[in-house]
A and B are shown apart, each in its own frame.
Chain A
């Protein structure tokens, strides 16, 4: 019953408070441009990039999420839609997050599980944290390997 009453209210709401006039759209546009400038400034800040790249990435993603919400709520009118909007958007969003969680351990963290041999043929030398995990063995092996080849 509560649900029923609720959706009824929503419909009433929908009809009486239709999306606002064009002034609001321009305000949203200006907000979006300002947010774009913010993420541009954050992304080009070499101080942030060198000292705390994680903060930089998180800030840019937060700004992007804010922009996305502005577009969805105002331009796509979801702010004024009835509860059906949750049926269509929430499952898709859950699937998206689920996909990310599936990908990260296997692929995103793959270099954490590289064997020493694999590092030898990697494009770049092993990062410091990998050296700690493997006791730094692989740092000596390229040279030994090369000398063996030469001796043969």
Chain B
């Protein structure tokens, strides 16, 4: 210190200043470097945190995900804050001990700091893993987050379910078990409907393929009932046919835009309900009930319509029969009657399809109502796309900020590991002080990140 300190100035009586040259700041070069580095770090993290605040409060009000929506546990964050604060104390204790040449004590405190930093990173890894388990990643293609429930959301859900269906069908075939429901009958209804919806025009009835796989029941399975592949195949197939494709049909053909939106939102809520409160699930179940009532009414009117169509058909068949018997055949009239019968048959087939769709839909309601925390929670292997508004922005900012912080922690741990084998006496006090300054800064950043990410 004395080398850089100015010598006492003497201006007694002479009336002018005698300036003393001071070659540098009164601190050692290492510490000066570290403080310059930290001042750039302040700006670096201020940029990240500032951007986060601006993005967080810039989203439409109420759409930023709540901590529980994205599997953030505040208590774990608070625990990690405590760990880091404690490690800040242990590093100053190490510095104090080193200054007093208590090398054993210094080493002990230093080791404690290293271990606490490792605990912090371990907890962080656990937290990241719990996000990954639920399909929350910073970016596509792994991320399952969708901003809203639109036709692209339904498309993503359908592609996922079709993939699962194929995967489990292959697995079942490999075990030489019969595929429930015949397997091959699983045709896509929505292939035509989807393109129509993308163009914004309702699909024509002809676009619908001829069959709908009925709801598969596990109790009807004769072989391999306990095989998880069979069980998963049944769940995926039912959801594909009676949840997602049904919604795609509505989204493509319903003239009411509110009904289209409601059908798509229902899929999103079934997969991943955003508000986990007890009232939220009740609300969902009530929505299912009202849909069931509506569908039952529709089925009744379909049955009446079918009766009328059947009577009409009998009438027309009789006409044809008479025409065939007549001696002078009116070929033109005969063709016309036949065409009309074909038309009635087409109508009957369409209403039969619709009735099958309604049956399957009402049966799948039971599965949806049973999955109280959403299908993704009920069946972890499903990993269907989830609707979390602003979820992608959340994931980007969360992983970026905690990731940069974790890298800083890692650098600190490396520095600890390098210094730890050395003798920590007063000659190394400056080194320990500099590492400590860096470590305190890492703590400082977390002090702001914790409330901003976990509690805001």
Contact = CB atoms under 8 A, between A and B. Distances in A.
A14 B63 CA distance: 52
A67 B447 contact: yes
A96 B48 CA distance: 10
B443 interface: yes
B93 interface: yes
Contact of A29 (B62, B86, B455): B86
A85 B35 CA distance: 9
Contact of A92 (B42, B81, B451): B42
Nearest to B97: A22
A100 B389 CA distance: 25
Contacts of B455: 39-40, 42-44, 60
B43 A95 contact: yes
A92 B39 contact: yes
Contacts of A36: 78, 81-82, 85, 450
B425 interface: no
B43 A92 contact: yes
Contacts of A96: 42-43, 46-47, 50
Nearest to A91: B39
B260 A146 contact: yes
B9 A4 contact: yes
Nearest to A75: B440
Nearest to A8: B6
B85 A15 contact: no
Nearest to B35: A88
A11 B60 contact: no
A8 B57 CA distance: 48
Contacts of B454: 43
B451 A43 contact: yes
Nearest to A59: B451
A123 B63 contact: yes
Nearest to A111: B60
B60 to A, nearest CB: 5
Nearest to B59: A111
B92 interface: yes
A21 B455 CA distance: 35
Contact of A146 (B36, B50, B60, B257): B257
Interface in A50-108: 57, 60-61, 63-64, 67-68, 71-72, 75-77, 81-82, 84-85, 87-89, 91-93, 95-97, 99-100, 103-104, 107-108
Interface in A3-21: 4, 7-8, 11, 14-15, 21
Given A96-B42, A127-B60, A150 B202 contact: yes
Interface residues of A, number: 70
A97 to B, nearest CB: 8
Contacts, number: 174
A127 B57 contact: no
B448 interface: yes
Most chain B CB atoms below 10 A, which of A11, A72, A92: A92
Contacts of A11: 1, 5, 26
Contacts of A75: 88-89, 92, 436, 440, 443
B185 interface: no
Contacts of B88: 29, 71, 75
B74 interface: yes
A50 B328 CA distance: 85
B147 interface: yes
B21 to A, nearest CB: 12
Nearest to B433: A77
Given A84-B25, A123-B390, A103 B92 contact: no
Nearest to B36: A88
A37 B62 CA distance: 26
A109 interface: yes
B200 interface: yes
B159 interface: no
Contact of A63 (B20, B55, B451): B451
Contacts of B433: 77
Given A39-B455, A100-B46, A123-B63, A15 B92 contact: no
B148 interface: yes
B451 A61 contact: yes
A32 B92 CA distance: 15
B417 interface: no
Contacts of B255: 150
17 contacts: A4-B6, A4-B20, A7-B6, A64-B450, A64-B451, A71-B443, A75-B440, A84-B27, A88-B36, A92-B46, A95-B43, A96-B43, A100-B46, A111-B58, A123-B147, A127-B62, A150-B202
Given A28-B89, A72-B440, A145-B257, 16 more contacts: A4-B9, A25-B96, A29-B88, A33-B82, A36-B82, A40-B455, A44-B455, A75-B436, A88-B35, A88-B39, A92-B39, A103-B54, A108-B54, A123-B147, A127-B61, A146-B260
Interface of A: 1, 4, 7-8, 11, 14-15, 21-22, 25-26, 28-29, 32-33, 36-37, 39-40, 42-44, 57, 60-61, 63-64, 67-68, 71-72, 75-77, 81-82, 84-85, 87-89, 91-93, 95-97, 99-100, 103-104, 107-111, 122-127, 142-143, 145-147, 149-150, 152
